[in-house]
Structure 1
Amino acid sequence: VEDMHADGKLTDYAMMNINKFMVNRLGGIFLILLDNKKVDLIKKCGEYYIENLIDIVIEYCFIDGILNTKIDIEKLTDKDIDIIVEFMNQKLYPILLIILERNINGIKGILSNSFIYGTDWDYCKPDIIDFDLFLEKLDY
């Protein structure tokens, strides 16, 4: 999103709104992943739960969310959207796997990286997600 803004494909307003929207949606996903009981239910959804989870996160945070909102994205092409989805796919897989497997050193690494690069945790106001609906989507 930052690169697309730098290339003039997004206004400042659109970039800020897209980032805020995605952070809030990801915050909702992370709230689910902080609950061990919910993580156990996610893992019971089958052998490919991590791939399905990534698909749902991308759909929820980007495709369903951004494309169906009033955010100014008319300058984005299908190729731009494909690039964002592929980038999210590559980044989400290791992060979600670290969290789902409760890899403490990996989680510390993510947190320290965020601390070093100045991530503002107050920026996020996590969406509230209906977990039953989330599980239904995961178990397709």
Structure 2
Amino acid sequence: MNAFFVQFKATPEKELLKKEILNAIDAHVGKMFLNSSITLPAQKPELSDILDTLNISKNTYKDVMADCNSFYQLRREAIFCYSREALKQYKVNQVSLMAGYKGLHGPRYFSEAFKKMYRITPSHFKREINLSPIQC
């Protein structure tokens, strides 16, 4: 067998570390939303934050996450997952700040990215939430 493929063979340890990495990304994004202000843009977590939290190297990260989306795509998915929840309580422009979209065009960029991911604008998503019956 080719040595290249042996190096990236999935092991239980790598799968466990992959779950830890994904949980760390989710936790950092969750903290970003909890600690953010609805008037100031949040600071998005960087790969170095995750590496420091788990005390792993960039090479280890690349090895373990070789078959996954990039860090930035994983972070983006987590941000929009939290954004959907935040839209239940906050206005779109406030959620865009919580999601780290800065500047004058931040809400517009947030809306475009949200629509690209979910095929619905945040405003329409918010309206659908308000129209749906409360589920217990």
Q: Give the number of the structure with larger relative contact order, counting CA–CA contacts within 8 Å between residues 6 or more apart.
A: 1
TM-score (norm 2): 0.39
